[in-house]
Amino acid sequence: MTFYCYTTNAQKFDSLALTPPMGWNSWNHFHCDVNEDVIKEIADAMVSSGMKEAGYQYIVIDDCWQVGRDKEGYIIPDPERFPSGMKALGDYIHSKGLKFGIYSDAGILTCKKRPGSRGYEFQDARTYASWGVDYLKYDWCNHGTQDAKASYSIMRDALYAAGRPIVFSICEWGSNEPWKWADEVGHLWRTTGDIQPCYDCKVNWGELGWIHILDKQVELSAYAGPGHWNDPDMLEVVNEGLTFNESRAHFTMWCMLAAPLMAGNDLRNMNKETIDILTNKNLIAINQDVLGKQ
């Protein structure tokens, strides 16, 4: 294992995420139950549903795609769930005119106890670049006594050194007030604990219904703008636990917040009403305004 220090003159890719990123993430609906067939079907559905045309770009595989490291330290994708490999999957996503995202963690293990990137940041960044990755969600589980800004800055430097422009999504749950420092490190940063598919609920370990997350965005608007966004977490639109009207209000509020719009439902099984929420042109126009005003 090799450890690296981050340098004061390093930088992120400044030309990315000039409006809030739009896409889809596997976690809210599928959790660990992901495989390459599901991901390909989701990519197909993003195109056929009209979501791509509406502005959605990223297909992001969250936790549980990785199972270990080889003797040289390279990350190993689950060979049963992703038998074709991540490069081939990324190529498929790109063939649809979409972009490919992946997940890792700043600690030694991910939240689901898969290998994290601590100590392997530069090696992992080169691997992601070779797979054609366009977006990295970087979590904050099993981090021990690590300093958040330093830990995320190491991966920022690693991504930049790898040479492929990759949107860097900082997922440290707002624990260290990232809005005060993360604009120099990543392109978006989580402001709260994890969202739940409910309007008004709280869970002891910090997971929240969307109305409570909305309340926590007060006074954060000054920190958002082109290339650096407050992230109140992914969308729970139409996931079990939300009514249709609650889903519609949830999407509306996220658009007004200039929040990243990362759908979290099963795109393969959407009715017209769900598609109408997620592709509402007027709301997306507010969200994607180039001035970036939250």
Distance CA 276, CA 294 (A): 23
Mean pLDDT (the chain) is 95
* pLDDT over 50 (residue 159): yes
State the total domains in the chain: 1
**Is there a domain that residue 15 lies in?**
no
pLDDT at residue number 5: 45
Asked whether residue 7 is domain-assigned, the answer is: no
Q: Which of 139, 157, 183, 233 is catalytic?
A: 139
At 266, which amino acid appears?
A: D
Q: Which stretch of 33-42, 73-82, 87-96, 196-205 has the lowest confidence by average pLDDT?
A: 196-205
Rounded CA-CA distance 237/248 in Å is 7
5 or 12, which is more confident? Answer: 12
Annotated catalytic residue within 105, 124, 194, 231: 194
The answer to whether residue 139 is catalytic is yes
Is residue 78 among the annotated active site residues?
no
Q: Confidence class of residue 7 from pLDDT cuts 50, 70 and 90?
A: very low
Rounded to a whole number, what is the largest CA-CA distance in the chain?
Answer: 52
- Confidence band of 197 (pLDDT split at 50, 70, 90): very high
The reply to whether 263 falls in a domain is yes
Domain that holds residue 270: 22-287
Q: What percent of the chain has pLDDT over 70?
A: 97
Q: Which of 283, 293, 291 is nearest to 261 (CA)?
A: 283
Residue 114 contacts by C-beta under 8 Å, 6 or more apart in sequence?
63, 64, 65, 66, 67
The answer to the question of residue 148 being in a domain is yes
CATH number (domain holding residue 65): 3.20.20.70
Q: Collapsing DSSP states into helix, strand and coil, what is residue 231?
A: strand
The structure's pTM equals 0.95
- Say which amino acid occupies 119: G
Per-residue pLDDT averaged across 238-264, rounded?
97
Q: DSSP states of 8-75 as a string?
A: TT----TTS-SS--EEEESHHHHTT---HHHHHHHHHHHHHTTHHHHT--EEE--TTSEEEE-TT--E
36-64 pLDDT, tens digit each = 999 999 999 999 999 999 999 999 999 99
pLDDT tens digits, one per residue of 80-105: 999 999 999 999 999 999 999 999 99
pLDDT for 79 beyond 80: yes
Residue whose tokens read 């920190």:
223
12 belongs to a structural domain: no
Q: Are 94 and 122 in contact (CB under 8 A)?
A: no
